[in-house]
Every structure is written in C-alpha cells, then in structure tokens.
Amino acid sequence: MARVVERARLLVADVDRTWAVLAAFDSISTWAPAVDHSCALTTDEAGLGATRRIQVGRMTLTERVIVWEPPSQLAYRIEGFPARIGAVTNAWSLEAAGGSTRVVLTTTVDTGPRPPERLLERVVARRLATSSDQLLDGLEARLLIDEPRPMSPVR
C-alpha cells in the first residue's frame, strides 16, 4: 500500500496564471527553491510525456508527465531515487476559488509491502512532504512576483 501526503494552499492568483507557471514544465528551477537546475529532456517541453531533468543539490532526478489536463491537473513520475525507494509521483490539482486558486499537491510513495519497506516509505514521505511545502512556497512567491499591477494614470 502506498503512502500519500497531501499539501494544499490558497494562492492569490487565478487558475490560468497558476497553470502557466506549472505548465512551463522545464522551468521549475526559476521558482522552486530547492531546484538548482532544470531542463527539458524531450522535444515537447510540456504536455503528456514531457520529461525534465532536475538537479537538487548533488541528486539528479527525471520527472515524466503522466497526467496533463490544462488548467486543472498535472502529475509526473519522479525517477532517479535509489531503487529501494520505489515509485514516487507528484500530482498537482488546481481549482478556481474566486480570483484565487486552491492548489493541492499530492505526493505518493510506494516502496513495497514488507515492513522494512513500509518504514522507509514513511521516512521518505515525511521528507517529500517538506519538499512539497517548499514547492508551494516557491509557486506562491513566483505568482506574487509576477502579479499584474494596475497601470498608473498618465500625467
């Protein structure tokens, strides 16, 4: 049985602006604080099957899009962890809430059914929950920086 960790946030940006940041799939390093570098590994930089490489400290991971439903659902499989960690996915869900967006980031970790694997799963899920909080913080900061400002009257 997989362990699921969910983090949610209400962001002061509409769904389209929020989706635009997430949809620039190869550019996660521009807003995710822990990601040192990111780049596309496939010709298609966005959409189903798009794959990016990210560098987090000394760890290199590959993330492949498995769900792409603009502007509400994005999920990707994370590969490159040590083999004993097993399958890891992140799924983003966006829902309009007035002029804001309710964002839910769900991380699923499946290390296997045996007790030692289950213990590892719990530790990894806890660590990835912290990463999810950082991703949401970075997304929120990016949307605040890119917030459209009203034009001042011409004098």
pLDDT at residue 124, as a whole number: 84
Structural tokens at position 135:
């991703």
Integer Cα distance of 127 and 4 in angstroms:
12
pLDDT at residue 155, as a whole number: 53
pLDDT at residue 82, as a whole number: 85
Q: Along the 155 residues of the chain, how does pLDDT read in single tens digits?
A: 688 899 999 999 999 999 999 999 999 999 999 999 999 999 988 899 999 999 999 999 999 999 999 999 999 999 998 888 888 999 999 999 999 999 999 999 888 778 777 778 788 888 889 999 999 999 999 999 866 655 455 55
DSSP state letter for 117? H
Q: Please, what are the domains in the chain?
A: 3-145 (3.30.530.20)
99 close to 11: Cβ distance less than 8 angstroms = no
Q: Is 36 helix (H, G, I), strand (E, B) or coil?
A: coil
Which residues touch 50 (CB under 8 Å, ≥6 apart)? 25, 26, 40, 42, 44, 64, 65, 68
pLDDT at residue 121, as a whole number: 78
